[in-house]
Amino acid sequence: MPHPPVRADGKIETLITSLEMLAPPASPPPPAPRDGLSIQRAVRPTVSFYRYLYDTVGEDWLWYERRRLDDAALAAIVQHPAVEVFVLYAEGVPAGYAELDGRALGARGEVELAYFGLLPEFIGHRLGPWLLDWAVRRAWSLGPRRVWVHTCTLDHPGALAMYERAGFVQFKTEVEIADDPRAPRGGPPLRAS
């Protein structure tokens, strides 16, 4: 997959788009796109299992933020009682995941769809919109005043349109300049396709 070009200063620019939904979907949930699908919550997922999901889903999109966290910092997030990681299985094989972060539910009344994606082998089989609809409905079941998500130019090129089709509305865009995650920083570079 094409990645943003590296600037002369060794950094990359990423356009981040934040979207929100202020009411739950009014339409009924769509039917599953195929047989053999199930969604299970990974309760207090192990760091190694979470890294498998994150790394495999994000490999082609240059996801790097969670890769830079040590195991303790990552466990503090994904094993927090207000963070829910749901794994989509296709006939017993992990096909994707959705991470709902409800840590701001009490303070700000919001749930963030923090991470969402499919493993490469399952892209293009209509599983993404179905899993997204399921995740949005699960987020609303927690009782927030809003559900929000952000996507960026490091995500699948169809991500923004999919979020908008699901009912999310853009509320902010910003450019983030960061060190190129593929560049060595005292160690080997992160894997990149």
Q: Kindly indicate the confidence band of residue 106, based on its pLDDT and cuts at 50, 70 and 90.
A: confident
pLDDT in tens, 37-63: 999 999 999 999 999 999 999 998 888
Report the DSSP beta bridge partners of residue 176.
14
More confident residue, 30 or 191: 30
- CATH number assigned to the domain comprising residue 66: 3.40.630.30
Q: Is the pLDDT of residue 161 over 90?
A: yes
Indicate the number of domains in the chain.
Answer: 1
Report the DSSP beta bridge partners of residue 175.
15
Q: What share of the chain is helix, strand, coil (3-state, %, to 5)?
A: 30, 30, 40
Range 3-7, long-range pairs (CB < 8 A, 24+ positions): 3/62, 3/154, 3/182, 3/192, 4/153, 4/154, 6/180, 6/183, 7/177
Q: Is the pLDDT of residue 133 over 80?
A: yes
Distance between CA 106 and CA 130 in Å, rounded? 28
The answer to whether residue 94 is domain-embedded is yes
